[in-house]
Amino acid sequence: MSGPNIINPNLAVLDRLGETAVVTLTVEALSGDEMALMLRELLMSVYQQGNKHFILDLQNVSAMDSVCVGVLVEMLTQMQQMRGGGRIALVNADGNVAYLFRITRLDRVFPICRDVMAALSAVEHSAAA
């Protein structure tokens, strides 16, 4: 893994593991239209840098709304259409955020993992299947 790359210090820090971007979000809440726009721009920028998969580290995030969840769904759809694959896994999801993904059944689409290495295995294994 290379050294961290602060791409938007108000939003995230980026690391890379091969074709996978590890995006550590630095905000406490992912909510509202402005945050959704920032998240969309961040993910698209990271994707355009050639990263095939994303691991979103949510260690600092205690709340997320449906608008930002929609951005993740939209990004995953684009990733799968543009390069014929790509996965997004979540790491360190707070109880409230993990619950949101479970009740919407999106935990079946976005694996929720305990650590980055488990998430890396999840995105790479799913991509190979």
25 forms beta bridges with 12
pTM value > 0.85: yes
Domain of residue 21 covers 5-128
Domain count, the chain: 1
Start-end of H helices in the chain: 33-48, 66-82, 95-103, 116-128
Alpha carbons within 13 angstroms on the beta-carbon side of residue 65 total 11
Distance CA 38, CA 43 (A): 9
Look up the CATH number of the domain holding residue 88: 3.30.750.24
Tens-digit pLDDT string for the chain (129 aa)? 445 555 666 789 999 998 899 999 999 999 999 999 999 999 999 998 888 999 999 999 999 999 999 999 999 999 988 867 889 999 999 889 999 999 999 999 999 999 999 999 999 886 554
